[in-house]
Amino acid sequence: MNFEGQFVLVTGGSRGIGRSIVEAFANAGATVGFVYNSNSAAADAVVKELTDKGKKVSAYQCDVADKVAVDALVEKLVGEWGRLDVLVNNAGIIKDGLLATMTFEDWNAVIATNLTSVFNFCQAVTRPMMSQRYGRIVNMSSVAAEFANAGQANYAASKGGIQGFTRCMATELARRNITVNAVAPGFIETDMTAAVRNAAEDEIKKRIPARRLGKPEDIANATLFLAAKESGYVTGQVLKVDGGLTLGGI
C-alpha cells in the first residue's frame, strides 16, 4: 500500500501500537504527524529514528481530551499541510478495577481519553475532509467491547462507544468519499498488556487459535488496509485482529 503524498495524523503515537502505526505509514511514504500526551522523550525517539531514515514524521504534544487544544492542532496541521487524508484515533489508557470500588476519576479518565478524544478529533477533521471530498478515519476499539472482562467496565464502555460512534460517522460521511472504520485488537504484546501477560500468558495463548499473541505490527497492517485508497468501499466496519480469539468467545 502506497501513501506517497498523503498526510496522516495518529493519536497516541509514541509507543506500542501507535508507534507501529506511525512507522508503517511513514515507511509507506506518508507525511505523518503523531500526538503524544506527556512522554516527550519517547516521542522524540520515534521522530529521530524515522527522520534519520529519511521519513517525514513530526510529534505534537496535546491533551486528546481537550477539545480546544485538539481543534487548534488540527487547524495548524491542515494549514501547514494543505490537506489531511488519514486520521487514526489510537490514544487510550486503562484503569481497571471492579465497579463496586471504581472511582469516578478512573471512570472519567478512561472515557475522556479513549472515547471523548475520538469525538474531538473526528469532529475537527470532518470539515477539511468534507471540503476535499476524501478521507480515511480509523478508530482503535478492542475485543473487550463485545466480550466482557471483570474489572473493565470503564474500558469496555469506552471501546463499545467507539464502535457505535464509528458506525454513525460512517453513515454521515460516506457520500463525501470518507470512510470510517474501527480495528478491534485482541491480546497484543504492548506495555499496556504486560501485567496480564506476565500473570497468564500461557493460558491466554491456549485460548487463541493462532497460538500466539498479536504484535503491534499486526494492528498497524490492518490499519493501513482500512486507510488505503483501495479500501474506499469498506466503511462502518469493525475489524477484529485477534488471531481467532473471539471465534468461540473469550
Question: Which residues, including other chains, have CB under 8 Å from residue 169's CB and lie 6 or more apart?
Answer: 122, 137, 180
Please give the grid coordinates belonging to residue 155: 474500558
What the chain holds in terms of domains, given with CATH numbers, is: 7-234 (3.40.50.720)
Give pLDDT, residue 204.
81
Active site residue 233: no
Nearest C-alpha neighbor of 182 from the set 241, 238, 119? 238
Grid cell at residue 4: 506517497
36, 60, 134, 155: which is the annotated catalytic residue? Answer: 155
Q: How confident is the model at residue 250 (pLDDT cuts 50, 70, 90)?
A: low
Q: Tens digits of per-residue pLDDT, 4-63?
A: 999 999 999 999 999 999 999 999 999 999 999 999 999 999 999 999 999 999 999 999
What percentage of the chain carries pLDDT values higher than 70? 95
pLDDT number for residue 192: 67
Per residue in 154-192, pLDDT (tens digit) is: 999 999 999 999 999 999 999 999 999 999 999 999 776
66-113 residue pLDDT tens: 999 999 999 999 999 999 999 999 999 999 999 999 999 999 999 999
> CA–CA separation, 244 vs 246, rounded Å?
6
Question: How many angstroms separate the CA atoms of 106 and 104, rounded?
Answer: 5
